[in-house]
Chains A and B, each alone.
Chain A
Amino acid sequence: MDLSYSEKDEAFRAEVRAFLAEKLPKELSEKVRLSQDLEKSDMEFWHAQLNARGWLAANWPKSFGGAEWSAVERNIFEEECAMADAPRIVPFGLSMLAPVLQKFGSKAQQDHWLPRILNGDDWWCQGYSEPGAGSDLASLKTRAVLEGDHYIVNGQKTWTTLGQHANMIFCLVRTDTTAKAQEGISFLLIDMNTPGIEVRPITLIDGGAEVNEVWFTDVKVPVENLVGEENKGWTYAKYLLTHERTNIAGVGSSRAGLAAVKRIAKKVQARGRPLIENPHFAARMAQVEIDLMAMATTNLRIVSKAAAGQAPGVESSLLKIKGTQIRQEITDLARRAVGPHAMPFASDALDASNTPLPDPYDAGEVAGPYFNNRKLAIFGGSNEIQREIYSKHMMRGAK
């Protein structure tokens, strides 16, 4: 065992830092630090910066022009980006759809869609969940019927993250209603501008507009937009989900979150002293920091087992559970730290005059993210579903 970073790793870290210092504008990182809403153009800007540097496809296999970073390199990159308050990279095209196309797509699909993902020509969203099909995804009902050289799609998807920005959606649809639930599902790529598609926003608990309902009425989808074989979509969907879980531990964002809590706790006064010196608050912070130290190592242990460009195995369930617990604990610390100042609601302007809210600790919104981050344990396979997956794995010998 060797717990130290190699010289090469350290050089890479320095390279990432230099890149962030040069390319990440202060206004953008401030928005991220203060948990303000990002514009579509903010996210596109950052995507383009990374692409220009060749760091967007870093996790793609070399055969597709990727860099095949090692787990350690990936980790360094994520950590540095999070600590610098870089916007998150919208994952739907880059790290969800792309691996599916690379493994199961036709040559024509790969040639057409993969470069467009890198160039930011398409904004993809994920059309898996439906009102009646969340954890039980295989029960999905959105129907696709082949008529000539088109599928006709009818149904509804929901919780579609950033669907309001998307021009493309990859969907799980039912193409065989007679087969077993998992065996009648296909994987379709659908242009959001096709007639018959309607996107309606869902406002979340913190007032944010990040998810949507997407309705399909007689939507015509060319048959060449089917990925792989008809009725094999479940296999591709599951493959995609393992990639969705690659960075699930969120170590970088926890580190950044904890650093932010410390900054706040130094500014907040409690009984004439900085809150960071208060034994109860200090104990809460130390507890999370200890957990995070161990979890960062668990994360490296697990992800480095997976070959470069590959997703980790069933252990990613363990990472998701602990990772989200820690991230959520940190948002809880932040709201505690600011005391009564957690109450002012930042999404509304002060006195409707667009003046910013009082923010004496330069903390940005803290209660909003506390509530918003409840989602971490719900999406991407809820933490209960992760426990189901892992317990089945552990009990596989039991009768």
Chain B
Amino acid sequence: MNFDLTEERQMLQDTLRRFLAGAEGDLWPQLAELGVIGALFSEAQGGFGGAGFDLSVVFEELGRADVEVPLIDNALLPGLLLAAAGESVEALIDGSERLAFAHNEQAARYDYNWVETRFENGKLTGEKSVIVGADSADSFIISARHAGTPEAEQGIGLYRVDKAATGLTLRAYDLIQGGRGADITLENTPATLLMEDAYGAITAAMAAATLAVSAETLGSMQTAVEMTAEYLGTRKQFGRPIGTFQALRHRLVDMMVELEQARSAVILGAGNLDAAPNERDFVLSATKNIIGRVGRLVTEESIQMHGGIGMTQEYALGRFAKRITMADHRFGDTDHHLEQFIALGVGV
């Protein structure tokens, strides 16, 4: 066993950390230029990474930094689906194109098999809800059912849809954690078939996204804990740093204990991203469940130990807290993954 990063990944981490520390302006072309998007895809897909540990390195750094870039939504997810359909990912990797994958529907909650949007006679009709990164995308990959009941794993296809396509309405809004989301309504919207039976490709892409959001949250939690440690060392009340009160410093250590758990969970998830689907999803459910639990602890404790200042919009901690908490609302929450873990554990 070896828990060190390879030289290339170490370099990727260092470069990205330096870049994000002083980043300004539109990050997208700069990230593409740095090769960050390419690192999300394998050589076979046209990139130069694509393994679990490439993803965990990239997204942990994004999470540590006070930036919000829809890299999961406008690159990773749609790129993996394009690749699965045998299409080129080049335009995503060089940053010239941004796509979004519109899959989630209100009744689906966190289940990937639940699709009610219909594909009939070359046209899509249905509603997609809370699609992150939709309005920063140039066009969409949309899932729809050409056969079967709403929950059937068979009969879900992937389609490409132009953003300006007829019958497509985009209602965009800000998200709590920063960035934008949208609801998309489709009414006889013309679409091009990408993939006929896509459930396997969807779950594989979602597994990668689950790892990515977990690593990103790990990075944000790391920052939140560091900020709290620093604050406890500098904020004085009763004539001394509040970190001298055991009631606080012991809780800081409790956060650290859980943060290490979260780090291991992300490493486990990264190491199993290429495992057989059931095993992959079993481990990633464990990862996401831990991230959800530790995320809540870190959010609540770091705000509490900051006192009033932790409650303000201006102070960066709040932004990290919101990203950490909202990650529990993406790709399955703590309870959803507990259920998945139980269900899949029977078979693994």
Contact = CB atoms under 8 A, between A and B. Distances in A.
Contacts of A275: 109
Contacts of B114: 271-272
A378 B304 contact: yes
Given A204-B313, A339-B329, A358-B171, A269 B176 contact: no
Contacts of B177: 343
Given A135-B237, A351-B171, A367-B326, A339 B248 contact: no
A379 B130 CA distance: 34
B129 interface: yes
Contact of B171 (A139, A350, A374): A350
Interface string B184-215: 00000000000000000000000000000000
Contacts of A271: 109, 111, 114, 151
Contacts of A375: 308, 311
Contacts of A350: 171-173
B311 A378 contact: yes
A358 B183 contact: yes
A357 B173 contact: yes
Interface stretch (B20-28, B75-83, B157-165, B331-339): B331-339
B183 A135 contact: no
Interface in A298-350: 328, 332, 335-336, 339-345, 348, 350
Interface string A46-82: 0000000000000000000000000000000000000
A97 to B, nearest CB: 21
B174 A348 contact: yes
A387 B246 CA distance: 12
A336 B335 contact: yes
A58 to B, nearest CB: 31
Contacts of A357: 173
Given A280-B338, A367-B325, A351 B333 contact: no
Interface string A89-118: 000000000000000000000000000000
A382 interface: yes
Given A129-B308, A340-B329, A367 B176 contact: yes
A9 interface: no
Contact of B321 (A335, A371, A382): A371
Contacts of B132: 343
A270 interface: yes
B330 A205 contact: no
Contact of A207 (B111, B313, B335, B339): B313
A340 B112 CA distance: 13
A377 B308 CA distance: 10
B329 A205 contact: no
Given A344-B175, A351-B173, A357-B173, A384 B130 contact: no
A281 B307 contact: no
A15 interface: no
A342 B104 contact: no
Contacts of B173: 344-345, 348, 350-351, 357-358
B49 interface: no
Interface string A375-399: 1011100111001100000000000
A170 interface: no
Interface string B286-312: 000000000010001001100110111
Interface size class of A (residues with CB under 8 A): 35 or more
B307 A134 contact: yes
Interface size class of B (residues with CB under 8 A): 35 or more
Contacts of B111: 270-271
B318 interface: yes
Given A134-B237, A205-B312, A270 B109 contact: yes
A269 B111 CA distance: 11
Interface in A123-182: 129, 132, 134-136, 139, 158-159
Nearest to A358: B183
B238 A136 contact: yes
Nearest to B339: A280
B161 to A, nearest CB: 19
B130 A343 contact: yes
A320 B247 CA distance: 17
Nearest to B335: A280
B4 interface: no
A119 interface: no
B329 A139 contact: no
Contacts of A272: 107, 114, 150-151
B292 to A, nearest CB: 10
A205 B173 CA distance: 18
For the complex of A and B, 6 pairs with smallest distance between CB atoms: A136-B237, A205-B318, A203-B313, A340-B130, A280-B335, A345-B174
Given A344-B174, A374-B303, 20 more contacts: A135-B238, A135-B307, A159-B308, A269-B106, A269-B109, A271-B109, A271-B111, A272-B107, A280-B335, A335-B329, A343-B132, A343-B181, A344-B173, A345-B173, A348-B174, A350-B172, A358-B173, A360-B106, A372-B311, A374-B311
27 contacts: A134-B237, A135-B238, A139-B238, A202-B312, A203-B314, A204-B311, A204-B313, A205-B321, A270-B109, A271-B109, A272-B114, A281-B335, A328-B300, A335-B325, A340-B110, A340-B330, A342-B176, A342-B329, A343-B177, A343-B330, A344-B176, A345-B175, A350-B172, A358-B173, A367-B326, A371-B325, A374-B310
Interface of A: 129, 132, 134-136, 139, 158-159, 202-205, 207, 211, 268-272, 275, 278, 280-281, 284, 328, 332, 335-336, 339-345, 348, 350-351, 355, 357-358, 360, 367-368, 370-372, 374-375, 377-379, 382-384, 387-388
